[in-house]
Structure 1
Amino acid sequence: MRDRDLVRRSSPGARLRTLHAQGRLATGYPDLRELLADAGPDELDFAGRVLAPLDPDEVLGHHPETPTVRIAVTGRGTVGDVVPALTGQLARHGILARTRVCGAGGYLGDLADPGSPLYTHAPDVTLCVLDPLTVWDKVAAPWQPIEVSVAAERQRKALGELAATHAACAPPGATLVLNTVPLLHRFTHQLTSLAQRAELGGLWRQFNADLLYMARPSDGLAVLDLEPVTSAGARADEPRLGAYADAHCTAQLLTGYAREAAHLIRGLRGQAKKCLVLDLDGTLWDGVLAEDGPEGVTAAGSLRGAAFGAFQHTVKQLAAQGVLLAVCSKNDPQDVARALAEHPEFPLSADDFVTVVADWGSKAEGVHTIAERLGIAPEAVVFADDTPFERETVRAGVPGAAVVPLDSEPALHAERLLADGWFDTPALTDEDRLRPVRYAQRAARERFEAGSADYRAFLDSLDLRVEISPPYEHELARLAQLSLRTNRFNLTGERLSTEQVRQRAAAPGAVVLAVRAADRFGDDGVVGAVFARAGAGRLSVDNLVLSCRVLGRGIEDATVSGLLRAAREAGFTAVHARWSPTRANGALRTLWPQHGFTTIGGPGTATEIRFRHSLRRLGPVPGHLRLRLRLPDERQPAVPRGGR
């Protein structure tokens, strides 16, 4: 029996135990994401404990392409118990953890010493777990609230200094993760004055707020807010283990911490989902459209109806931050169109959805259709439906897509949709917020194209403008996002954080360019990035990335042709480039040869092919667009400030 066949039978706990008993956790690791997708707390706890001792090299020996993250864990007290919980959570998302727990209680030494085992581990992510006794170990009795505040501020400043050391000593692009600190009952109620107790609460919340304001996830410092975890019922401290083992965090708190940390790590890796695909009946509204008609379904007018309305408000909030909304419903398309366009109760309207699939076919096929229409990978989709059969259809037919298990209780829809942070990203860019608008423009463009008998005439009518120049400061996060989240048109698969992009742009001889596009249908903003180096009379292109939503308009050809022309005008004698194969960029192997590049050193290797262009003969820039390209001027800042 294959591991994948085993994964699809019986309960998640039983399947996991079978794989564990048969010693097949390493060989079956890629299937754990599907197995653990709907696992409950006990099953995830078991998964973490059996997976934590697993040798990552054994997994990679069987599956070398498994996404891997190097994690260092340190803290004020004993914090190693976070590792099993984190291992299980990352396995749910298909990520393999290579974790090192550093000295218990020694986070000051771990982070301050460049030669410590923490930095030797070369972590991508460092978790500095601040337990509930953080600050209090520096407060002597008797104390007043103001003395606690002073100790807390000293702690915050010390953490800021440690973050600076981490940024200097950890690998480029590494992230240090701190967290807010719960305020315990045992401390607040040592104050008998209600006024002083309130004062302490306010000062402590200010300390946590100051920690949160330190966060710059795109630049290497993240802060997890544990208040949502404790407000959901997780007790923060374990008095007995704290007293006898210096382990002050409860298993519940560490589980919640691990869940948030896993979502952060997934976001840092550029694995945030892009599109929310929603069912209608029992998901977005109360009622059955085919039976009740467009006027009979509701999202208001009753307590149950209002719960659906509240869910629609949640969905609308996600859309305002760039999440693409789509419908996949087994209903007649005319009825769906009427309900979305005309129903007076719905917070959501037809304009909020970038595309709608309404028919009586398979919902797995519907999700594939939506992904194809939007030009995104099917695994970038989150599918929410209240029917178990439909969820299993999509889970089996769209591998990698996230499936949200809704049920007949609409009051819990929002909680379940948000539970796994599928759309979490280190920072929200202007491009994120405008994504639905961009896709609406794309749809209008495609409708215009469909009505045009001549594709060349269609391109000529677009009034397409492409501008390529050094990025502005506010565009650096977008360039990082493109490198992290673009798979099909990513020449080497290299992933860069915002800070790495900034460092790359500031390096001597660096050439970092933003590709911007606009046409008669609207401004697409920053759609691509070029990362190159100048030296020894040549321009070496390390990577070229373009958003998939602009492919097919000649922007890729204009970028390469324009880059060659600019290089020759700048006095370079050659342009070098490379292509490294990934799971998604195979079609780009011929990009450079199509533009006159020749292969250097034979057919290349399994990991890289290098190319060279002599700049003697240059192909034309596509005639249907206007191109402006400017290489960096050494006399000007590498990253201009201000806007376009």
Structure 2
Amino acid sequence: MHFIELKKNLKKDFSGLKKAKIALLGDSATQLLTQAIRGYGYELGFDLEIFEADYDQIDRQIMYSASEMYQSQPEYIIIFQSVQKLRKRFYKTDIRKRSQFAQNEAARITGFLAELSKNIHGVKVIVANFMEQNDSVFGQYANKTDMSLLYQIRHLNCALMTLAANTKNLFICDVAALTAAFGHVAATDNRNYINADMAFSLDFLPEMAKGIVDNIQVVSGAAKKCLVLDLDNTIWGGIIGDDGVENIQIGDLNQGKAFSELQCWAKELQRRGVILAICSKNDEDIAKTPFLKHPDMVLSLDDIAIFVANWDSKVDNLKKIKSFLNIGYDSMVFIDDNPYERGVVKNHLPEITIPDLPEDPADYLPFLSGLNLFETSAYTQEDEQRTAHFQQELKREITQASFTDEREFLKSLSMTCEIQPFSTFNLPRAAQLLQRSNQFNLRTIRYTEEDLQRLSTSDAHLSWTFSVHDQFGSYGLISVVIGCLDGDEFFIDTWVMSCRVLKRGVKHLALNEIVQAAKRLGAKRIRGEYISTPKNGLVKNHYPNLGFTEKDAGQWILDVASYTPREHFISITTQVIDE
């Protein structure tokens, strides 16, 4: 988008949008960047309330605990330091100490993080890294000497990556990559820098705003989870039903290379945990032929969670895919080469993200990767198993169809459950579940991994994680419950569950565990709270359906003494009793 379009958004109605409080700290002029961030936030459904610090006040705002920034109580803090100011600091550094410049700059940012975490619990920090700049003092030799500016910028950017990898609440706005893609010359405007101290050109500001807001969006729990692919002329050239498997374009020759590279990208997304689905107007057996017989196919049927190929409308088939995966339409990205098909789906299912592919397949991958549709804030080993989970679920559905009695079907699954408190092994996945779960999430409190670590050592809180297995395989860690004693009530602070285990009895098992814990603590009642969001209507009646009675609006009470354990067909293989 152009800056002028983002600026126009500022005059639109922000009511009803998700709110977030941000502090923007910069060492150069940030007024227009502030406008771009707020304008881009509108595009993604955010009402971003931005505290913009005075010019070049990063150190003061962070290191002075009574600063205006701390008074604004931000949820996110953006630290933007320009490469121009970095260059000035480098030039002022004693030549004998320049080899340590990047290390010292990284230490400075580490100090900022420590101070911010001390003063604002749970704050998320977004740090902009640095555009690469060769001042030509050493020419090409800059790549070989740690005395050069270019060497130190690259070293600093790597140090920031390492710091972010080891700091759960730190995220990077990758200015280095954004400016490289946009073009270093186009990303800057020297006249604006000299006259107004603007580090970037007006045209580049939307790119940086997108990088910042993309981080905020995914940390807040909104992420694209599924890539739905058309087949003909999308992941291979040609029409399989007409051309035959031997004549479709795929592989390392000519245009086939473009389709193979797109498949490589999709496969890497699948390995990262993005669900792949197929939606094609085709005979299913014919559509699967390249996956089974073409030697140059990168994607295999094992990479696909659900394969839908028939002659129904793509709107209907996308509805089937959404229903099977039990995700929101806004979590889906649909890739189709046909403008007509894209238009029909956009008209009927506007929440799905549907990129308008370029006409030339050679441009498919650069275009799609440039959109950065699959931003993420975390990655766990369980992400690698997500496709297998859905393939197993398809087998369960086939098995369930052979039963007329649901209880008998549940018994046949031979389900087992491991119940554990938070630990170093399950904290990353537990935090990811809390960040990404929107439908089965009673209060939608977004605890970070750092928050969960703190709760795990709290004497006032109990925590449970639930990992379920059955005869078809593992569901993985699928539920998290956090509770605490509040007088003679046990309060359920957090209850989230993956929709993969709906109607499997896990919520009954979890409630039985909660009641047992409440009894051990001497609680007379259990109190649950439901906070409505646009996405968690699924659990609106969760507490009344479990026998709770309404006390106040959104507050539900269950009497411990009169509770009768709920029926389920899950064997507990590991259970840690919280004292």
**What TM bracket, shorter-length normalisation?**
over 0.9
Which residues in structure 2 correspond to 1:507-518 (within 5 Å)? Answer: 507-518=458-469
Whole-Å separation in 1 of the counterparts to 2:544 and 2:10: 46
What's the counterpart of residue 190 of structure 1? 137
Match of 2:175 among 226, 229, 234: 226
What's the counterpart of residue 161 of structure 2? 212
Whole-Å separation in 2 of the counterparts to 1:555 and 1:141: 62
What's the counterpart of residue 68 of structure 1? 19
What's the counterpart of residue 208 of structure 2? 257
Detail structure 1 runs of 4+ shifted over 6 Å in the superposition.
none
Which residues in structure 2 correspond to 1:411-426 (within 5 Å)? Answer: 411-426=362-377
Whole-Å separation in 1 of the counterparts to 2:207 and 2:73: 26
Match of 2:227, SS state, is strand
Task: Read off the aligned partner of 2:137 and give its amino acid letter.
Answer: Q
Are 2:235 and 1:277 aligned?
no
What's the counterpart of residue 48 of structure 1? 6
Deviates more, 1:198-207 or 1:109-118: 198-207
Task: Read off the aligned partner of 1:95 and give its amino acid letter.
Answer: F
Are 2:6 and 1:59 aligned?
no
Match of 1:250, SS state, is coil
Task: Read off the aligned partner of 1:615 and give its amino acid letter.
Answer: A
Provide closer, same or farther for how the CA distance between residues 408 and 282 of structure 1 changes in structure 2, counting only shifts above 3 A: farther
Match of 1:585 among 515, 536, 554: 536
Provide closer, same or farther for how the CA distance between residues 205 and 139 of structure 1 changes in structure 2, counting only shifts above 3 A: closer
Provide closer, same or farther for how the CA distance between residues 457 and 68 of structure 1 changes in structure 2, counting only shifts above 3 A: same
Q: CA deviation at 1:102?
A: 0.7
- CA deviations over 1:258-282 (Å, ceiling 9, x no partner): 2211211111111111110011111
Provide closer, same or farther for how the CA distance between residues 218 and 403 of structure 1 changes in structure 2, counting only shifts above 3 A: farther
Contact kept? 2:416, 2:570, Cα under 8 Å = no
What's the counterpart of residue 101 of structure 2? 151
Match of 1:576, SS state, is strand
Provide closer, same or farther for how the CA distance between residues 52 and 148 of structure 1 changes in structure 2, counting only shifts above 3 A: farther
Contact kept? 1:328, 1:356, Cα under 8 Å = yes
Match of 2:122 among 164, 173, 188: 173
Q: CA deviation at 1:343?
A: 1.9
Contact kept? 1:295, 1:343, Cα under 8 Å = yes
Whole-Å separation in 2 of the counterparts to 1:195 and 1:221: 30
Whole-Å separation in 1 of the counterparts to 2:93 and 2:302: 61
Whole-Å separation in 1 of the counterparts to 2:338 and 2:503: 38
Deviates more, 1:195-204 or 1:312-321: 195-204
Match of 1:473, SS state, is coil
Whole-Å separation in 1 of the counterparts to 2:294 and 2:140: 55
Match of 1:294, SS state, is coil
Are 2:387 and 1:436 aligned?
yes
Whole-Å separation in 1 of the counterparts to 2:456 and 2:371: 34
What's the counterpart of residue 344 of structure 2? 393
Whole-Å separation in 2 of the counterparts to 1:460 and 1:560: 19
Provide closer, same or farther for how the CA distance between residues 345 and 253 of structure 1 changes in structure 2, counting only shifts above 3 A: same
Are 2:213 and 1:266 aligned?
no
Provide closer, same or farther for how the CA distance between residues 516 and 59 of structure 1 changes in structure 2, counting only shifts above 3 A: same
Q: CA deviation at 1:197?
A: 6.9
Task: Read off the aligned partner of 1:164 and give its amino acid letter.
Answer: A
What's the counterpart of residue 25 of structure 1? none
- CA deviations over 1:358-409 (Å, ceiling 9, x no partner): 1223222221110111122222111111111111222222232111221332
What's the counterpart of residue 373 of structure 1? 324
What's the counterpart of residue 451 of structure 1? 402
Q: CA deviation at 1:511?
A: 1.3
Contact kept? 1:241, 1:247, Cα under 8 Å = yes
Whole-Å separation in 1 of the counterparts to 2:528 and 2:357: 48
- CA deviations over 1:14-55 (Å, ceiling 9, x no partner): xxxxxxxxxxxxxxxxxxxxxxxxxxx33xx2221123466x
Provide closer, same or farther for how the CA distance between residues 300 and 451 of structure 1 changes in structure 2, counting only shifts above 3 A: same
Q: CA deviation at 1:252?
A: 4.2
Task: Read off the aligned partner of 2:568 and give its amino acid letter.
Answer: P
Contact kept? 1:128, 1:178, Cα under 8 Å = yes
Whole-Å separation in 1 of the counterparts to 2:143 and 2:395: 61
What's the counterpart of residue 164 of structure 1? 114
Deviates more, 1:479-488 or 1:123-132: 479-488
Are 2:43 and 1:96 aligned?
no
Whole-Å separation in 1 of the counterparts to 2:276 and 2:140: 52
Whole-Å separation in 1 of the counterparts to 2:143 and 2:450: 43
Provide closer, same or farther for how the CA distance between residues 369 and 226 of structure 1 changes in structure 2, counting only shifts above 3 A: same
Provide closer, same or farther for how the CA distance between residues 140 and 231 of structure 1 changes in structure 2, counting only shifts above 3 A: closer
Aligned residues: 575
Contact kept? 2:475, 2:500, Cα under 8 Å = no
Provide closer, same or farther for how the CA distance between residues 123 and 380 of structure 1 changes in structure 2, counting only shifts above 3 A: same
Provide closer, same or farther for how the CA distance between residues 628 and 571 of structure 1 changes in structure 2, counting only shifts above 3 A: farther
Q: CA deviation at 1:218?
A: 7.3
Task: Read off the aligned partner of 2:524 and give its amino acid letter.
Answer: T
What's the counterpart of residue 547 of structure 2? 596
Whole-Å separation in 2 of the counterparts to 1:304 and 1:319: 24
Whole-Å separation in 2 of the counterparts to 1:87 and 1:121: 16
Contact kept? 1:298, 1:305, Cα under 8 Å = yes
Task: Read off the aligned partner of 1:245 and give its amino acid letter.
Answer: A
Instruction: Give 5+ residue unaligned stretches, structure 1.
Output: 1-40, 634-644
Whole-Å separation in 2 of the counterparts to 1:109 and 1:269: 28
Instruction: Give 5+ residue unaligned stretches, structure 2.
Output: none
Match of 1:122, SS state, is coil
Match of 2:568 among 622, 632, 641: 622
Q: CA deviation at 1:628?
A: 4.9
Whole-Å separation in 2 of the counterparts to 1:620 and 1:307: 55
Whole-Å separation in 1 of the counterparts to 2:477 and 2:434: 12
Contact kept? 2:290, 2:297, Cα under 8 Å = no
Match of 1:407, SS state, is coil
Deviates more, 1:420-429 or 1:99-108: 420-429
Provide closer, same or farther for how the CA distance between residues 490 and 301 of structure 1 changes in structure 2, counting only shifts above 3 A: closer
What's the counterpart of residue 612 of structure 1? 558
Match of 2:426, SS state, is helix
Whole-Å separation in 1 of the counterparts to 2:143 and 2:535: 60
**TM-score between both structures, scaled by the size of structure 2:** 0.93
- CA deviations over 1:573-624 (Å, ceiling 9, x no partner): 3322222222333343433334333332xxx32xx22323233332244245
Whole-Å separation in 2 of the counterparts to 1:277 and 1:221: 31
Q: CA deviation at 1:108?
A: 0.8
RMSD of aligned residue pairs (Cα, Å): 2.4
Q: CA deviation at 1:627?
A: 6.5
Q: CA deviation at 1:417?
A: 2.1
Deviates more, 1:66-75 or 1:466-475: 466-475
Provide closer, same or farther for how the CA distance between residues 192 and 326 of structure 1 changes in structure 2, counting only shifts above 3 A: closer
Provide closer, same or farther for how the CA distance between residues 226 and 195 of structure 1 changes in structure 2, counting only shifts above 3 A: closer
